Amino acid sequence: MLAWSIYISFAGALIVALLPTGKFALVRWFALAVAAVGLAIDVAGYAAGFAQGPRTLVDAAWIPAMGIHFLLVADGISRVLVLLTGIVAVAGVLFSWNVETRVNHFFAFYLALIGGVYGVFLSADFFLFFVFYEIAIVPKYFLIAIWGSTRREYGAMKLVLYSFVGSSMVLVGLLAAYTSSGSHSTTLVALAHAGLPASFQMWCFPLVFTGFAILAGMWPFHTWAPTGHVAAPTAASMLLAGVVMKLGAYGCLRVAIGLFPLGLAPWGFSIIGLGSWRDVFAWLAVIGIVYGALVALAQTDFKFVIGYSSVIHMGFVLLGLMTLNQIGVDGAVMQMFSHGVIAGLLFAIVGRMVYDRTHTRQLAELELMHLSRRLPFAAWAFVFAGVAAMGMPGFSGFVSELQILVGAWRVNPWWVAIAGIGIVISVAYIWRALQKAFFTDKLPTPEDHPKTGWHSLGAITWPEIAGTVLLGASTLAVGIYPRILLDQIEPAVKALLAGGAQ
Amino acid sequence: MNYADLFRATLPETVLEIAALLVLVVDLGFLRKAALKARIASAVLVGVAGCAVALWLVYAAGWAGFGVGGDQLLAAGGSAAVAQCAILVLTVLTLLLFIGCDFTRHCGEFVAVTLMASAGGLVIAAAQDLLVIFIGLELLSLGLYILTAFAKQSGKSAEAAIKYYLFGGMSAAFLLFGFSYLYGLTGSTNLSKVMLGASLVSARGGAPLLLVAMVMIAAGLGFKVAAVPFHLWAPDTYEGAPAPAAAFIASVSKVASFALLVAIVSAALHAFNSAAAPKFCAAWPLILIILSVASMLLGNLAALAQTSLRRLLAYSAIAHAGYILLGLAFFSWTNLSASAVLYYVITYGLTTIGAFGVVGVVERATGSDKLDAFCGLHKRNPWLAAVLLIFFLSLAGIPPLVGFWAKFNLFAAVLAAGDGPVALALVALAIAFSAVSLYYYLQVLKRAYVLPAVDESPIRAHPVTLVVLVLIAAAVVLLGCFPALLQSWIASFYV
């Protein structure tokens, strides 16, 4: 059933593109309906998937000559991420209710991107996986370049080229794996069981992992993320941070770790304390956490603060993956979900509620606007989302980060020690942004009045409230009752760690 | 030698020539007073009918090639038939794009020359003899020179034709020189015998003459496929030639030339596999690899700097030739490589015809092929913008379009044939350059979809042109979503 979320999104994209231009309301409602139907399917599929292992959704021979299958399989990890995609997709449509230029094109690209993302999370054939992975690249370019702000063409091109270079690395690795294994099938299971030699996995793993990790925002290849997020329109930032970065992390887990587990084995020697690719990537993740937090602390643009917060959270995901133990990887998958909804909410507040009304994102200018009084809903929503992003108990971020840190402690306590610094700084940068943007006591001087304009900012509209409630409820529900995700994640992670891609 | 057999074997070519003469008779004899539109329509109609009959003959008739005393002159079936079908289909598309063009009043001659050049392409695709190869190449090339110069009132067209002609003449001389050495070394002009002789020569320790011959032949054929460093004609020709002529050069001529390379490489592989002469085997792929890497490098990097879409397409064609040459350098015993190379070049030809179709329409409306002429195209003609999006994303190799599958298939074939770090490194290089190419293809699409139009007046395309472009785009999407269709069709020729 989950497979229909893919087809519906692509069909929706095609129909939206052909709907009459100028009828904004029709297009919006249609896009919302498509996203909502997708979410409904995801929820139903998710609910049906409890206590079940991987389920094959579709298996059809696609290109028999090369053993390529149109093979969609949903296991616990896929189901969690598909659910996330559904939630963020609906929220994204709600938060783009005020898009008025080329609405048809906007939602067509938007839904095409969603369809590609669904496809990646459900593919169990590397060729199909790669096809969906690349389908997701192009709509991002147009979403950012056409409807974006701040250096949008630069941000869009940078993002696309980074993504494409990453996927090129993945393609090289997968082609090499396919041909050198002599496998007659391109399914992930067949490749995982093909018995690739350790020496091969040793160089192929870092290639493929890095290729995916570029999209997951791994330091030092993260620079596309802040510029891309900032340049993107609200809904696109939500999707980028919410689900597209997850594509990278999911690829790291499912393909890189699943197919080339021997690539993580120790090298047999060590350079500056690094004894395996696992150490290398774990330290890069830790550096990303601390670096991202420090840089976020120094930003003057509100949206850049949120952009760097994505780098931090994805650093946690990568660190969790590199623990390679049950609890750490569980945490990583949960963190993907958690970051998806929290970052979606943060970007929605900054981009839609604040920027679209004040037309500035400079913290220095926002300071003078007393937004806590003029946009109380936005202010309190940001308090909520900010606290969730800090990792307070009761929110999803706490549960997932805790698991990652526990898992990391078992491998190397130093990772936790350094990442802990990042957590402390995280509190500081969120606090700073919160205070500067909403709760400052600084009164505007008379000269500031005409510039900032005390005109009405416009009330918060119902789509914004609905979107906030949807995303907020998701993080709260997982925070209060984590088993709702863990019951799905645990068995899937267990199977993956036990025997490569299953 | 049996002339009846020869006639039967060359029936498709003969049909094309008859159609060409018929076009001339109809156009110059009966329609002298008719309006230009009617003349173009009737000329194209006759041409398309001729191609259709030829296609039916290639496809349906099951003869076994043609040879004299055991020496095969023309092959049948296999790669030759695949390439011939593709050449005829692409010729039809080019002719259909000619409808709506206004660069010449001599429409009958244009269609006739196109058909004759196409007949040359058919000969090349099937040729198994050095002399037949040469005749076919000349027949094709002479047609292309004339087509390039067809926009008489345009100085650029004349300049392009002169450049093309000079380079072409020189490379033909190189090729013939190389062939003469081969003949001298082996005493035969038959391709498989030549290769067998060459393998014996190199098994005896090799001869420097053989190396010279190979370099000469590489130069001659490198010119035809626009491989660096023999590519210098391409940007100017693509820029100056009338749009349908440029499309013809970029597609039909490419398919024919690569089909020839496939035939040569297959023959060499068959001969050398039996004689076990590693020297030749090392030298010939090395030449191809050098051409390939140089083409990928220069084509992709130079395309980054172009402001004219036609020149951009020319450099992108050079880059694509580089990818295909990689497939020829690592050629496998089985039909895997041959079908992958043909798949690539056929789908590339299809896509590039579409791209030139869009360029032609925009050029007629705006008078320019600069990238900036495409600004705001989605507003001026949404259909043109949509098909442009599909063509360029396919050229960049984005799934689910056919360009992606072609690349994947080709690179998989390279890795299957050339098992080793060198092949892998070269494939990695090619894939990296695909990432580079996305940048310049997106530069075009950025103008079509992102940047605002300077002039928002709608661009009108001839309905036939639009239908053809939409059909090509549909084929690009369909073949990309169901790659097995074309693949199994190609495979059906190899039984």
Q: Which DSSP string do the residues of A222-272 spell out, in sequence order?
A: -THHHHHHHHS-HHHHHHIIIIIHHHHHHHIIIIIIHH-GGGGSEEEEEET
Supply the pTM of this predicted model: 0.92
List B20's β-bridge partners, or say none: none
For residue B330, give the DSSP letter.
S
Instruction: Give B357-382 as a DSSP string.
Output: HHHHHHHHHHS--BGGGGTTHHHH-H
Q: Do B399 and A168 touch (CB under 8 A)?
A: no
In chain A, the residue whose alpha carbon lies closest to the alpha carbon of B490 is A65
What are the chain B neighbours of A179 within 8 Å (beta carbons)? Answer: 412, 415-416, 419
Q: Is B485 on the interface with A (CB under 8 A)?
A: no
In chain B, the residue whose alpha carbon lies closest to the alpha carbon of A144 is B450
Q: How far is CA A321 from CA A48, A80, A316, A502, B195, in A?
A: 27, 16, 9, 17, 56
Full domain range(s) for residue B383? 3-494
Q: Is B418 on the interface with A (CB under 8 A)?
A: no
pLDDT on residue B76:
76
Mapped onto helix, strand or coil, the DSSP state of residue B385 is helix
- If 0-12 CB within 10 Å is exposed, 13-18 middle and 19+ buried, where does residue A495 land? middle
In chain B, the residue whose alpha carbon lies closest to the alpha carbon of A137 is B398
Least trusted range by pLDDT, from A359-373, B119-133, B363-377, B453-467: A359-373
For residue A64, give the DSSP letter.
G
Please give the distance of CA B179 from its chain centroid, rounded to a whole number. Answer: 22
Q: Do B438 and A160 touch (CB under 8 A)?
A: yes
Q: Do A168 and B432 touch (CB under 8 A)?
A: yes
pLDDT on residue A444:
59
Provide the sign of the torsion angle of the four alpha carbons A315, A134, B413, B440, taken in this order: negative
In chain A, the residue whose alpha carbon lies closest to the alpha carbon of B386 is A17
Q: Is B419 on the interface with A (CB under 8 A)?
A: yes
Instruction: Give A89-115 as a DSSP string.
Output: HHHHHHHTTT--SSHHHHHHHHHHHHH
Provide the strand spans (E) within A272-385.
274-276
Listed residue (B278, B97, B258) closest to B205, CA to CA: B278
User: ∠B479-B484-B487 over CA atoms, to 5°?
Assistant: 90
Average pLDDT over residues B10-29: 91
Neighbours of A300 (CB within 10 A): 12
Identify the residue whose tokens are 């926009």: B151
What are the chain B neighbours of A63 within 8 Å (beta carbons)? Answer: 483-484, 487
Please give the distance of CA A299 from its chain centroid, rounded to a whole number. Answer: 22
Can you state the angle between helices B483-491 and B463-481, rounded to 10 degrees? 80
Q: Do A164 and B435 touch (CB under 8 A)?
A: yes
**Which is more confidently placed, A294 or B103?**
A294
Rg from Cα positions in chain B: 22
Q: Is the distance from CB of B121 to CB of B200 less than 8 angstroms?
A: no
Q: Is the distance from CB of A321 to CB of A332 less than 8 angstroms?
A: yes
Q: Is the distance from CB of B331 to CB of B417 less than 8 angstroms?
A: yes
Listed residue (B403, B397, B400) closest to A135, CA to CA: B400
d(CA B478, CA B468): 15
Average pLDDT over residues B28-34: 84
Q: Is the distance from CB of B309 to CB of B352 less than 8 angstroms?
A: no
Tokens of B133: 């190869």
What are the chain A neighbours of B412 within 8 Å (beta carbons)? Answer: 66, 175, 178-179
Residues of chain A that touch chain B, judged by Cβ-Cβ distance less than 8 Å: 62-66, 105, 127, 130-131, 134-135, 137-138, 141-142, 145-146, 153, 157, 160-161, 164-165, 168, 171-172, 175-176, 178-180
Q: Is B449 on the interface with A (CB under 8 A)?
A: yes
B391, B394, B408, B479: which to substitute to probe chain A, counting the most A Cβ within 10 Å?
A: B408
Cβ-based neighbours of B454, under 8 Å, separated by 6 or more: B372, B375, B376
In chain A, the residue whose alpha carbon lies closest to the alpha carbon of B439 is A161
Neighbours of A293 (CB within 10 A): 25
Q: Is B487 on the interface with A (CB under 8 A)?
A: yes
pLDDT on residue B452:
84
Q: Do B432 and A131 touch (CB under 8 A)?
A: no
pLDDT digits (tens, 9 = 90+) for A264-323: 888 888 888 788 888 899 999 999 999 999 999 888 888 889 889 899 999 999 999 998
Tokens of B180: 């003469």
What are the chain B neighbours of A125 within 8 Å (beta carbons)? Answer: none
Mean pLDDT of chain B: 88
Q: How far is CA B240 from CA A314, B306, B359, B369, in A?
A: 52, 15, 13, 11
Identify the residue whose tokens are 């980074």: A162
End-to-end CA distance of chain B: 28
What are the chain B neighbours of A142 within 8 Å (beta carbons)? Answer: 449-450
CA distance A106 to chain B (A): 12
Residues of chain A with pLDDT under 70: 441-456, 499-502
What are the chain A neighbours of B418 within 8 Å (beta carbons)? Answer: none
- If 0-12 CB within 10 Å is exposed, 13-18 middle and 19+ buried, where does residue A403 land? buried
- Closest by Cβ to B446, choosing from A153, A179, A180: A153
Q: How far is CA B73 from CA A204, B76, B260, in A?
A: 47, 10, 13
Q: How many domains does chain B have?
A: 1
pLDDT on residue A334:
92
Q: Is B383 on the interface with A (CB under 8 A)?
A: no
Q: Is B481 on the interface with A (CB under 8 A)?
A: no
Q: Do A179 and B428 touch (CB under 8 A)?
A: no
Neighbours of A448 (CB within 10 A): 16
For β-strands A274-276 and A266-271, DSSP reports them as antiparallel
pLDDT on residue A502:
38
In chain A, the residue whose alpha carbon lies closest to the alpha carbon of B486 is A63
Instruction: Give A227-238 as a DSSP string.
Output: HHHHHS-HHHHH
Q: Do A65 and B416 touch (CB under 8 A)?
A: no
Tokens of A491: 């068995």
Listed residue (A243, A200, A197, A217) closest to A35, CA to CA: A243
Q: Is B338 on the interface with A (CB under 8 A)?
A: no
Cβ-based neighbours of A71, under 8 Å, separated by 6 or more: A56, A58, A59, A60, A123, A124, A125, A128, A187
> Is 60 exceeded by the pLDDT of residue B275?
no
What are the chain B neighbours of A175 within 8 Å (beta carbons)? Answer: 408, 411-412, 415, 427
Neighbours of A221 (CB within 10 A): 20
What are the chain A neighbours of B426 within 8 Å (beta carbons)? Answer: none
Burial B86-125 (b: 16+ CB within 10 A, else e): bbbbbbbbbbbbbbbbebbebbbbbbbbbbbbbbbbbbbb
pLDDT on residue B222:
92
In chain B, the residue whose alpha carbon lies closest to the alpha carbon of A148 is B450
Q: Is the distance from CB of A234 to CB of A352 less than 8 angstroms?
A: yes
CA dihedral A246, A252, A258, A261 (to 10 degrees): -150
Identify the residue whose tokens are 């009737």: B42
Tokens of A337: 């979900």
Q: How many contacts (CB atoms, under 8 Å) link A and B?
A: 73
In chain A, the residue whose alpha carbon lies closest to the alpha carbon of B479 is A63
Residue B190 phi/psi, 5° resolution? -75, 135
For residue A301, give the DSSP letter.
B
Q: Is the distance from CB of B444 to CB of B374 less than 8 angstroms?
A: yes
Q: How far is CA B382 from CA A463, B68, B385, B448, in A?
A: 31, 56, 5, 9
Q: Do B432 and A130 touch (CB under 8 A)?
A: no
pLDDT digits (tens, 9 = 90+) for B283-334: 888 899 999 999 999 999 999 999 999 999 999 999 999 999 999 988 887 7
Q: Do B432 and A165 touch (CB under 8 A)?
A: yes
pLDDT on residue A300:
87
d(CA B125, CA B252): 11
d(CA A106, CA A139): 9
- Residue B159's identity, in one-letter code, is E
- Closest by Cβ to A138, choosing from B398, B431, B439: B398
Identify the residue whose tokens are 């879409």: B309
Q: Is B491 on the interface with A (CB under 8 A)?
A: yes
Burial A256-271 (b: 16+ CB within 10 A, else e): bbbbbbbbbeeeeeee
**ipTM at complex level:** 0.89
What are the chain A neighbours of B404 within 8 Å (beta carbons)? Answer: 131, 134
For residue B277, give the DSSP letter.
-
